[in-house]
Structure 1
Amino acid sequence: MMDIEQVIERSRRLEDLLRQHYHAKGTDLTQLVHSCDNRFPDDVSSKLNEINIIHQKLMTEDGFDIDNYQLFMDLCAECEVELMPRSSRLVWGAAVLLLGGITLAALGFYFYHWQHITL
């Protein structure tokens, strides 16, 4: 079963990602992809173009039905993951690793020196 609202929402989410993180210019997904397609891999460009074709057909053709709705949703999810900047994940991972390391070092220090600590 196809949900037109989901298709539109996922397309808009991709458009927002392109505008925010890739500074894409344009009014629809086609223009946005073409304005910044040199910034991401070719397979992402082809996936975005495929999503755009389905979105355009859905909006313009009466009675258009997506052959494999789940495949379309999976394709959108893949593109969202590809377009999401990785630097924020790297920064958060480093912060968690650093805080965990400091905490473990402090625990080790107190465990080793606990009998010598006087308050």
Structure 2
Amino acid sequence: MDIEQVIDKSRRLEDLLRQHYHAKGSDLTQLVHSCDNRFPDDIVNKLNQITAIRQKLMMDDTSLSATNDYQRFIDLCSECEQELMPRSSRLVWGVAVVLLGGITLAALGFYFYHWQHITL
């Protein structure tokens, strides 16, 4: 069990909640409760499980290293990160790249077609 990874995953979720969902609070429990009305019940339950498992892992790291709580924590964090990450930014960036590529190809086609007529 790696305590640093538990802290890193928790902080990543906290940052995600603060930045994208404007959650208020000092720890993950307060952040989840400040914006739990925006999420489906299953995500709120997963986030509450994450906070409970994190507390167990941080308080008693010697006896829990043999159990599967650590792996359950990592799996739940990965699922929540994937579900809470805004998808619109990927769509916007995809549209921007396609639009920029299309304009570039159109300009290249225009210059290729009219190159012989251009005089400097």
Q: TM bucket by the smaller chain? A: 0.7 to 0.9
Matches within 5 A, 1:77-92: 77-92=78-93
Q: Give the aligned residue type for 2:77.
A: C
Give the TM-score normalised by structure 2: 0.80
The separation in 1 between residues aligned to 2:103 and 2:26, in whole angstroms, is 48
The separation in 2 between residues aligned to 1:58 and 1:88, in whole angstroms, is 34
Between the two proteins, the alignment pairs up a number of residues equal to: 118
Match of 1:11?
10
What is the CA deviation profile of residues 60-103 of structure 1, one whole-angstrom value per residue up to 9, with x for unaligned ones? 33522340644432321222232223333233222212111100
Match of 1:117?
118
Deviation at 1:38, TM superposition (A): 1.7
Q: Give the aligned residue type for 1:50.
A: Q
Instruction: List, as ranges, runs of 4+ consecutive aligned residues in structure 1 with deviation greater than 4 Å.
Output: none
Ranges in structure 1 where 5+ consecutive residues have no aligned partner = none
RMSD over aligned Cα, in angstroms? 2.2
Q: Give the aligned residue type for 1:20.
A: Q
Ranges in structure 2 where 5+ consecutive residues have no aligned partner = none
What is the CA deviation profile of residues 42-62 of structure 1, one whole-angstrom value per residue up to 9, with x for unaligned ones? 332222122111101112335
Identity, in percent, stands at 80
Match of 1:64?
64
